[in-house]
Structure 1
Amino acid sequence: MTDLLPALLTGDALGVLIVAFGVGIVVGLTGMGGGALMTPALIFLGVNPAAAVANDLVAASVNKSVGAAVHWRQGSPDLRLVTYLMIGSIPFALAGGFIVKSVGDEAAKTEFLTHAIGIALLIAAASYAMRIYLQLRYVAAGNIVSDVAPRINPIATILVGAFGGLLVGITSVGSGSLIMVSLLLLYPTLAAPRLVGTDLVQAVPLVLAAAIGHVVTEGVIWAVLIPLIVGGMPGTFLGARLAGWVSQSVIRRGIVIVLTLTGLKMLGTPPEWVGIIGAGLLLLGPLAWGAIRQRAGLTAFDNDSTAWRLPDRD
């Protein structure tokens, strides 16, 4: 700890702080989980993959607790869903760090985590694209969702929690994308505030369990963890304040592209192919999205199309 202050004053720590602030803004703007962006960003900054996962999970367990507390006070989470998700997610999330440790030496762990995170990012990109599409369906239906509590499927919900817990426990990616989309598919009548509240509340014990597993096996690097927290919290706050000023449609489609290209890069895809795929997504993506909107009976492009609203009450 005596060397902590000099370590925090280095350019590396400043780089982590700036990146954490930027990722926090994106999280605040979109409501997505930060692990899908922060973990690969730390790796690209030169942080060991195992350390990047461990420190990001610890920081996420702190940051998510704040948002979960707000939703808990407002009474929006569905505690039945939270319970079943926790039954599946906590043991698998806790096991994540031990699974990584069992892979072998540092070189083996680095290769394993790099590929695992790449796959997780592609899953996150696909699930995030699905989330955008499902929101479009609600818009086409008039932006109205039922506020009646859905009938719970315990087995399916536990399995969702288990898969999400395993993915987060190994890679730190997935708590803010995969599980939310799975809940949307399982319970399409779940109102948006309850969906967000449920996802946030269940994510706290999930990420905390994953963080404990990695801290026990890997430990934390304070010179990385502190800038993550210090930069992430104000960034998230600023992003939330700016959300009404920025086109959500463009940002969310952009995130899908970034996650896809980052995942391909981490899987070792040749740079020229990453460039070709990125150019294709940038050029053809908006046209494809416009066609999908028109098939749903909406105008081709509408920046305000992602909002949900609850049914009017008498």
Structure 2
Amino acid sequence: MDFDLAMAFGAFLVAIVVGMTGMGGGALMTPMLVTIFGVPPLTAVSSDLVAAAVMKPVGSVVHLRRGTVNLDLVRWLCIGSIPCAFGGVLIARALGDGQDVQSVIKVALGVALLIAATGLAVRGYLALVDRAAHRVDDRRTAAPGEPAAMAAPHVKARPIPTLIVGAVGGLVVGMSSVGSGSLMIVALLALYPMLRANHLVGTDLVQAVPLVVAAAVGHILFGDFHLDVTAALLAGSIPGVYLGSLVSSRAPGGLVRRALAFVLLASALNMFGLSNAALGLTLAGVLVAVSLIWMLLRKRHGLTAVPTRGEAREPEVAGSDRQ
């Protein structure tokens, strides 16, 4: 019983981060189950996906009501992701039972976490570039009669590339439970740079519902689904997501995203079997190096090396919307 309560509390903490950032469920929840609670990787992936299938529809309904969903993109993403998510489960199971499949999934999960962390870094840089551009625009004087803001650009779906993104994302999600949020958002941002952030998040969240459901069904049938683990995740995740959503409007999104990327990196390195000493030294080195690089990038784009209080109040176009 104590084990289940501790797991529920861990899920609660992770879900707060998910509610604040709109991403990171599989990328944080599954490593937590594996590294802290000793849950076998395949069991962790299966239980996490089933829990996510219960929670995902809530946020998607909100975005559908607000009209921040590109249904054309959702359709092409789902065509690729649904069968591949189910197939990812079969591939994981076909690799074999016991230690072999657990080791392969653990490495695959580490790779997926590294990709997710890199994606968050890319999103942060794009937000920095966009913020710098907006500061330049704000210095210009608008001509008389010039509209204050332009309408959102129309985004036309590119079927084949979008289908491929969905297929690759679905395969990764089916095998590791990571990617329905972070990986897919980064891929969509690269494929459709003109897509507004709230439409980006809303579109990704809606397409993630059938994707996660397909992967969850596959893991229930062929994975290593444990009802007690899933129940503990849901008990902590539902109130955690709600609480995180309440505070998301006041939390500095850029800071939360950087912290999330750091946690993803730590989780990935742990999956690769680094010792505690090596892990600590690596993370410390990364923290120092990234901080210096970030200050240089800010200076390069005409911003101060350290964000000012006035800048902190500005919305981040590439990451301000929440799922």
Q: Which residue of 116, 123, 128 corresponds with 2:115?
A: 123
Task: Please give the alpha-carbon distance, in whole angstroms, between the structure 2 residues aligned to 1:146 and 1:297.
Answer: 27
Task: Please give the alpha-carbon distance, in whole angstroms, between the structure 2 residues aligned to 1:47 and 1:192.
Answer: 35
2:124 matched to which residue of 1?
132
1:62 equivalent to 2:54? Answer yes
1:219 Cα deviation from its structure 2 partner: 4.7
2:142 matched to which residue of 1?
none
The letter for the 2-side match of 1:46 is G
Structure 2 residues without counterparts, runs of 5 or longer: 136-148, 319-323
Instruction: Describe how 1:1-314 pairs up with structure 2 within 5 A.
Output: 10-44=1-35, 45-142=37-134, 147-302=152-307, 303-304=312-313, 307-308=316-317
Task: Please give the alpha-carbon distance, in whole angstroms, between the structure 1 residues aligned to 2:154 and 2:173.
Answer: 28
The letter for the 2-side match of 1:123 is I
Task: Please give the alpha-carbon distance, in whole angstroms, between the structure 2 residues aligned to 1:262 and 1:146.
Answer: 41
SS of residue paired to 2:277: helix
Contact 1:24 1:34 in 2 (8 A): yes
Task: Please give the alpha-carbon distance, in whole angstroms, between the structure 1 residues aligned to 2:150 and 2:182.
Answer: 20
The letter for the 1-side match of 2:17 is V
Task: Please give the alpha-carbon distance, in whole angstroms, between the structure 2 residues aligned to 1:87 and 1:306.
Answer: 33
Contact 1:146 1:189 in 2 (8 A): no
1:248 Cα deviation from its structure 2 partner: 2.4
Using the size of structure 2 for normalisation, the TM-score is: 0.88
Task: Please give the alpha-carbon distance, in whole angstroms, between the structure 1 residues aligned to 2:43 and 2:224.
Answer: 8
Deviations 1:120-147 (A, max 9, x none): 1111111111111122222122188861
Task: Please give the alpha-carbon distance, in whole angstroms, between the structure 2 residues aligned to 1:188 and 1:60.
Answer: 27
Deviations 1:185-242 (A, max 9, x none): 1111111221111000000011111111111012532211112112111111111222
1:246 Cα deviation from its structure 2 partner: 2.9
Closer/same/farther in 2, CA of residues 217 and 145 from structure 1, 3 Å limit:
farther
Deviations 1:244-272 (A, max 9, x none): 33332222112111111211111123433
Task: Please give the alpha-carbon distance, in whole angstroms, between the structure 2 residues aligned to 1:203 and 1:78.
Answer: 13
Using the size of structure 1 for normalisation, the TM-score is: 0.91
Task: Please give the alpha-carbon distance, in whole angstroms, between the structure 1 residues aligned to 2:195 and 2:256.
Answer: 24
The letter for the 2-side match of 1:15 is A
Task: Please give the alpha-carbon distance, in whole angstroms, between the structure 2 residues aligned to 1:277 and 1:145.
Answer: 45
2:321 matched to which residue of 1?
none
Give aligned pairs, total: 300
1:115 Cα deviation from its structure 2 partner: 0.7
Structure 1 residues without counterparts, runs of 5 or longer: 1-9, 310-314
Contact 2:42 2:224 in 1 (8 A): no
Contact 1:27 1:34 in 2 (8 A): yes
1:276 Cα deviation from its structure 2 partner: 1.6
Contact 1:96 1:214 in 2 (8 A): no
Deviations 1:55-84 (A, max 9, x none): 100111111110011111222100010011
1:304 Cα deviation from its structure 2 partner: 4.0
Task: Please give the alpha-carbon distance, in whole angstroms, between the structure 2 residues aligned to 1:291 and 1:228.
Answer: 41
1:3 matched to which residue of 2?
none
Task: Please give the alpha-carbon distance, in whole angstroms, between the structure 1 residues aligned to 2:81 and 2:30.
Answer: 20
Task: Please give the alpha-carbon distance, in whole angstroms, between the structure 2 residues aligned to 1:271 and 1:163.
Answer: 32
